[in-house]
Structure 1
Amino acid sequence: MTEVYPWQQALWQQLAGRSRHAHAYLLHGPAGIGKRALAERLVARLLCQRPAGLEACGQCKSCRLLHAGSHPDHFRLEPEEADKAIRVDQVRELVDFVVRTAQLGGRKVVLLEPAEAMNPNAANALLKSLEEPSGESVLLLISHQPSRLLPTIRSRCVQQACPLPGTADSLAWLRGSLPEQADEVLAELLVLAGGSPLAALRLYGEGVREQRAQVVEGVKQLLKQQAGVSQLVEAWNGVPLALLFDWFCDWSQLILRYQLTADERGLGLADMARVVRYLAEKSAQPRVLAMQDWLLAQRQKVLAKANLNRALLLEALLVQWASLPGPG
């Protein structure tokens, strides 16, 4: 049985309690808040032959087939490789599935994640199924970044924002998942994950705290001229580009915030607070703004899986970062 997260209860009652369902739902929200678990729970409820209230019974033929991963009326569509696009021929298989008759006589249910991974041809191929519903079929699209979807896809789905849990709920859940970790560590993980508890747990498992400590130390050495650009590019080879650009974008924003407010509470996590303050005091604001614009543009390319030269990109990043302090 899929885990039930406490912050989803109200939304679950709303979705599962419907007497009639839309042809397509777009479940969206930040990564790491349990959208996939919610969708899989809804898949089971929609396919169940003898639902028990709001839940799938878990015992009927449909539930047993779903649990075994062999349900003929369930289609799951994901990238064939991590961080790759969903291709048009994959979506064509989905379209063929939707127009077929349900083999168990009930609904056909599609789960597609992440929806923004579809390349343009794939997204256009999906539109036909969204525009011309076929029989008792329900498409569940999951998106972490709905703004990257075609407007025509968004407009043909019932858009459902999934709730982001509050800090107290997130920390309580993390304590149950990582009981050996101190509250300070859990709070830091939650900040690094943008408030998403499942993402925080994943970051812990991937050793992101250790990676961040390595990057922070490297930034300090760079500013003190104790380490060179090429040396750091090589040392950070195991740190994902998306994480690096998330952190540098965040630090540039904190620098600007401190320049505008001088608020000591707005310096971010303790590991970089002194560096942020130093750069805010020593850097010309136009230079910081230009740096932030460049960071955001490159981060968008990273998130879009553009074919980038990692070494050259990081070298450009570090050269600009090292040149921040000084006259404008």
Structure 2
Amino acid sequence: MNDILPWQAALWKQLAGRRQHAHAYLLHGPQGTGKRILAERLMALLLCQQPVDAQACGQCKACQLLAAGTHPDHYVLEPEEVDKPIKIDQVRDLVSFVVQTAQMGGRKVVLLEPAEAMNLNAANALLKSLEEPSGDTVLLLISHQPSRLLPTIKSRCVQQACPLPDHKQSLAWLRQSLPELDADTLEALLALAAGSPLAAQRLHAQGVLDQRALVVEGVKKLIKRQQSPSQLAEAWNAVPLSMLFDWFCDWTHRMLRFQLTADTRGLGPVDMAKVIEYLAGKVSQPRLLVLQDWLLEQRHKVLGKANLNRALLLEALLVQWAELPSHG
């Protein structure tokens, strides 16, 4: 089991020291800050038959079964596929688990991540179990974007904001996790992960720096009319759609900010700074605001797991970007 992260120590002491636990917790905060690690340790503690100093003992039968993934009283609910919604049938299976009697005579514990991946029907199917779980059942919901959850889901949970590491803590943890990388690369990864160290580690494993370089090069060629929107949409096929919209939303925001402040310190990472400054001087603010609204609307659809035509969506985005210099 992973150790508690340094920035989680105070919260862990608070949670682990409770004599009586809520029937449902909503652990929320930015992705990549260790909420899953915290939830898994709490699950282990709640299921342990002989906890020691507010920690799972790791030796009892319950701990051994949990480590092997065969504990009958624990349940993990996640999307069946990456970036897909949690479906109502999955939640119905979870509800069937909740109403059963604990097979080992203790608690039942459910871990659900990410809670915002539940579609509307799935979320509504969970409400009764959240309000009146059967027996001694604790539900641990993890959310990276709690604003996307139904108010009825949030109101039935004890909402717990999870602490964020500061830049020094993030960099130290990332340096220990990726000792082969130099300081500049670690800083670049942290910047792309919005300061979340576990997200930075995951992005590195996905090859994010190479993907970023590919996209930045493509944007520059697009503006110079050296590549077409359709060519780029195809070339970026391996880059996650959510990541692309995060970057384009960020770049548009930085253009608007530069138009208002003329502060070059807000241009962001050096790879796109000159492009952002150039475009900010070419496009009118009303046109940028229209583009920003469109980007945010499409990003919401992407994050909401809407059934989108990726190629057409990217082409629509890139056509608008290609036309920015002509909208002064």
Normalising to structure 1: TM-score of the pair?
0.97
Within a 5 Å distance, the mapping from 1:1-20 to structure 2 comes to 1-20=1-20
Alpha-carbon distance, 1:327 to partner: 4.3
SS in 2 for 1:164: coil
* Counterpart-to-counterpart distance in 2, 1:2 and 1:241: 30
Greater mean alpha carbon deviation, residues 148-157 or residues 305-314: 305-314
Give the aligned partner of residue 153 of structure 2: 153
**Offset of residue 264 of structure 1:** 1.1
How many angstroms apart in 2 are the aligned matches of 1:6 and 1:183? 21
Pair 1:32-2:32 in alignment: yes
Q: Secondary structure at the match of 2:325?
A: coil
Name the counterpart of 1:267: 267
How far does residue 225 in structure 1 lie from its aligned partner after superposition?
1.6
Matched, 1:126 2:126: yes
Matched, 1:324 2:324: yes
* Native 8 Å contact 2:5 2:34 kept in 1: yes
CA distance in 2, matches of 1:327, 1:82: 38
* 1:99-128, Cα deviation, whole Å (9 max, x unpaired): 222122111111111111112111111111
Write out aligned runs for 1:188-203 (5 A).
188-203=188-203
Farther off after superposition, 217-226 or 198-207: 217-226
- CA–CA separation in structure 2 for the residues paired with 1:229 and 1:125: 42
Rounded to whole Å, the distance in 2 between the matches of 1:301 and 1:327 is 26
Q: Distance in 1 between matches of 2:31 and 2:327?
A: 40
Name the counterpart of 2:212. 212
Shift of 1:3: 2.8
> Structure 1 residue 89: deviation in Å?
2.0
Q: Tell me, in whole angstroms, the C-alpha distance in 1 between the residues paired with 2:301 and 2:317.
A: 14
Shift of 1:16: 0.5
C-alpha distance in structure 2 between counterparts of 1:195 and 1:256, whole Å: 22
C-alpha distance in 2 between matches for 1:132 and 1:31: 29
| 1:164 alignment counterpart | 164
Which residue number in structure 2 is paired with residue 184 of structure 1? Answer: 184
CA distance in 1, matches of 2:284, 2:215: 24
Runs of 4 or more above 6 Å deviation? none
Partner Cα distance (2:160, 2:324) in 1:
42
Amino acid at match of 2:92: R
Q: Tell whether the 8 Å contact from 1:7 to 1:164 is kept in structure 2 after alignment.
A: yes
Residue aligning to 2:80: 80
Q: What is the distance in 2 between the residues matched to 1:303 and 1:278?
A: 30
Residue 284 of structure 1 contacts residue 325 of structure 1 at CA under 8 Å; is this kept in 2? no
Query: Partner letter of residue 264 of structure 1?
Result: T
Q: What CA distance in whole angstroms lies between the structure 1 residues aligned with 2:12 and 2:19? A: 14
Give 1:308's aligned residue: 308
Q: Is contact 2:109–2:140 with CA below 8 Å preserved after alignment? A: yes
Partner of 2:97: 97
State the percentage of identical aligned residues: 73
State the secondary structure of the residue aligned to 2:324: coil
| Structure 2 partner of 1:250 | 250
1:268-294 Cα offsets, whole Å, 9 max, x none, are 000000001111111111111111111
| Paired letter, 2:30 | P
C-alpha displacement of 1:326: 3.1
- Secondary structure at the aligned position of 2:317 is classed as helix
Partners in 2 of 1:206 and 1:216 — Cα distance?
17
Distance 2:63 2:230 in 1: 55
Aligned to 1:239: 239
Q: Distance in 1 between matches of 2:142 and 2:176?
A: 26
Distance in 2 (alpha carbons) for counterparts of 1:100 and 1:224: 63
The amino acid that maps onto 1:187 is E
TM superposition score normalised by structure 2: 0.97
User: Is the contact between residue 44 and residue 56 of structure 1 (CA under 8 Å) also seen in structure 2?
Assistant: yes
Native 8 Å contact 2:287 2:327 kept in 1: no
1:4 corresponds to which letter in structure 2?
I
Unaligned runs of 5+ residues in structure 1 are none
Root mean square deviation of aligned Cα:
1.1
